[in-house]
Amino acid sequence: MKPAKLDGFKTYTQAVKEGKYDLYVGNLFGKYDNVRTYWEDQLTRIVLRPYLWEIVENCRSQDQGVRIVDLGCGAGQGYDILTKIDRRDLDLGLQHKRVLPPEELSLFLGLDISQAMVEKGQTLFETHPYVQFQQADLSQGLGNIKQTESPFDLYFSSYGSLSHLARKDLVKLLGDICHHGRDGSYIVMDLIGRYSIEWPDFWYAQSEEEKVRQYNMGYLYSDEVRQTADIESFPIRFWTGEEVRELAQEITDQVGVQLEVARLVDRSLLVGRHTDTKSFNPKLQPIRRSINSLHEDYLRTNLDELMLDASIFPDHPFITPLLHELINSWNILIEFTQHRLSHNFSLPDLKGWDEFPKPLQFALMTIDRVIADVGWMWYGDPRANIIEPQLGYALRTLEYEMQRGWGCGHGLIAVLKVKK
C-alpha cells in the first residue's frame, strides 16, 4: 500500500507545480475572458452564419466537402468559431444544429508565421485528419499553396490577424486569393478598427505611416505586471470601413476579378481589450472587466461601474454622434435595470420613449420582463446568475444593432465575396 500512497503524493505534488490548484478567478480577464466567449465569439458567429450557410449548401449540392483556409490561424481557434455556428437562433425546444458540422469539412488548413503555433495546432488537432497546419508568411501572399492546393470555399481570418500586414502586403494577399479562389468564394477579414474609443488619437490619421501604430497585448497581463514589465509592442495597421471598400475596389481594378464587400460589422465598440489597460486612452474606465463580471456565476456586479461618460471623446463629424447615441442608450438601460432591481413593482419614468432607438426599446422591455419573471426566486442568486447575464446580452445587442461598420469597434469584420 505504501507505494500507492507515494504515487498519489507525487501526483498531487506535480498537479500543484503545474498550477492545477491555483486560485480560480473565473473568466474575468485574459485572452479567453467572458467578453471574448459570450460577446465577441458569438457576434462573429452571428455575422458569418448566412455566408457559411451559403457555402455549405453549395458544397452539398456538388457533393463536396467544405474547404477552409485560416489565415494567421494561431493554434487553430478559428475552427471552434466556425464549427459552432447554429443554423438559427434557438428557441426553448431546439437542440444545437450546426451550420458546418465537422464531418462536412474536407480540409481546414491553418497558416501561421509562427512555427510554434503550427506545432501547437498539430498537437491539439492530431485526432482530426482533415485539419492541417503549415508555416507561412502571409506578407508574401498565399505562397506555395497557390500551386499545391485547390481553391478554398472560405479564406478566413480572426481577431486582427490580417492587421499585422502592411497595406501593400494585404493587397498582394487579396490579389492572390482572387486568382486562387473560385467564383463565390468568401473572404473574412477581422481587422483592428481605427475609430475605437480605445485610441481616439488615431482617429484623424491621414498618411499611410500614421495608420500603422505600435500595439501591444498588455491585456494578457495583470495590472501589476503591466506597470512593472516591458510589454512587447509591434506594428498594427488600423482600418476603417471606408478604407476596406476602397481596398476592395483597388483589388477589383488591379486583378480584374470583382471583390464585393458583402458586409462590414464593428465588434466591441465600448468593451474593447484596451478599455481596461488604458494603454492608449488613459481617460477610459475599465468597462470590460465590469462586463466580464456580469457573466460570472455567483458574482454580483456594481452596476454604477457600467455607466459611461460620453464627454471624454474628441469631436468627430460622424463618429462622435454615433458613440453618443450608443452610450446614451447604454446608460439608460443601466439606470433602468438599477431602478427595477431596487423597486420590484414600479417602473421608472422613461421620458422620450418614442424617440428611443428600437434596439434600446427592445432591451428595456427584455430586462423588465426578466426581472419581473425571476424576482420571486430565492434559490441560486437569480440576480447574479440570471438577470446580470441577460443584461450583458442586452448591452451586447445594443452594440451590435447600433454599429455601422465604420471601424468604430476594437474589431472590424469585413466579409468579401469573389465574383468571377
- Residues contacting 193, CB < 8 A, separation 6+: 238, 239, 240, 266, 407, 408, 409, 410, 411, 412
Tens of pLDDT, residues 17-28: 655 556 556 688
Q: How far apart (Å, rounded) are the C-alpha atoms in residues 371 and 394?
A: 13
Tens of pLDDT, residues 248-302: 999 999 999 999 999 999 999 999 999 999 999 999 999 999 999 999 999 999 9
Instruction: Give the side-chain half-sphere CA count within 13 A for 77.
Output: 14
Q: Average pLDDT for residues 113-130, to the nearest whole number?
A: 92
Q: Average pLDDT for residues 182-190, to the nearest whole number?
A: 97
Task: Judge whether residue 187 has pLDDT over 70.
Answer: yes
Kindly state the greatest CA–CA separation across the chain.
77
pLDDT at 21 (0 to 100): 54
The pTM of this model reads 0.92
pLDDT at 228 (0 to 100): 80
Task: Judge whether residue 407 has pLDDT over 80.
Answer: yes
pLDDT at 5 (0 to 100): 46
CB 56 within 8 A of CB 68: no
Q: How far apart (Å, rounded) are the C-alpha atoms in residues 127 and 339?
A: 52
Q: Which residue has the higher pLDDT, 243 or 29?
A: 243
Nearest to 162 by CA among 143, 136, 190: 190
- φ, ψ (nearest 5 deg) of residue 308: -115, 150
Question: For all residues of the chain together, what is the average pLDDT?
Answer: 91
